[in-house]
Amino acid sequence: MKALLALTTLLLALPALADTVKVDNAWVRATAPGQKVAGAFMDLTADADMAVVAAASPAAKVVQLHTMSMDNGVMVMREIKEVTLAKGKTVSLKPGGMHVMLIDLTGQIKAGSKTPVTLTVRGADGKTQKVAVELEAREPGGGGGMQHHMH
Ligand SMILES: [Cu+2]
């Protein structure tokens, strides 16, 4: 009887159905041997007003959220604090725009391989949750042709 009571308490302690983020089309640019950085891209759709506030991956020592823009005719990347997700609206992280930057790669990312990334997402209630994403490595040069310049 005591055990049953404890179980009930545990179930009640679980959070109510949390807001979620749907991730589609997640990929990372495959790298050449020795290359230390790679950009990762995906489509994010949240079912509430949320924000991606951090990212981490075992494939890189540092993972940052970046935006890319033209500055005097030169493409520059800047770190951003978060990627805002409005309820129901798909936000695309794509070459030439916002992206997840894997920095100081622990190894080569070969085309066709999978790279895990964990996003930290903050909900409207201020609570954070982790969202596991699997990035499919795609060969560079297949269109886009974005260069990553660290500065
Ligand atoms: Cu970048």
What distance in Å separates the CA atoms of residue 57 and residue 117, rounded to the nearest whole number? 5
Output the pLDDT for position 19. 84
Tell me how far the alpha carbon of residue 49 lies from the centroid of ligand 1, in angstroms: 25
Note residues around ion ligand 1 (Cβ under 5 angstroms). 66, 77, 101
Tell me how far the alpha carbon of residue 8 lies from the centroid of ligand 1, in angstroms: 47
Q: What is the pLDDT of residues 44-68, one digit of tens each?
A: 999 999 999 999 999 999 999 999 9
Output the pLDDT for position 145. 45
Model pTM above 0.75: yes
The pair of structure tokens assigned to 55 is 């990212």
Alpha-carbon distances of 136 from 3, 27, 68, 112, 116, rounded to whole Å: 45, 4, 22, 6, 9
| Ranges under pLDDT 50 in the chain | 143-145, 151
Contacts of 121 (CB under 8 A, 6+ apart): 21, 46, 50, 51, 52, 53, 85, 128, 129, 130, 131
Taken in order of first residue, the domains within the chain and their CATH numbers are: 18-138 (2.60.40.1890)
Strand partners, 62: 103
Tell me how far the alpha carbon of residue 80 lies from the centroid of ligand 1, in angstroms: 10
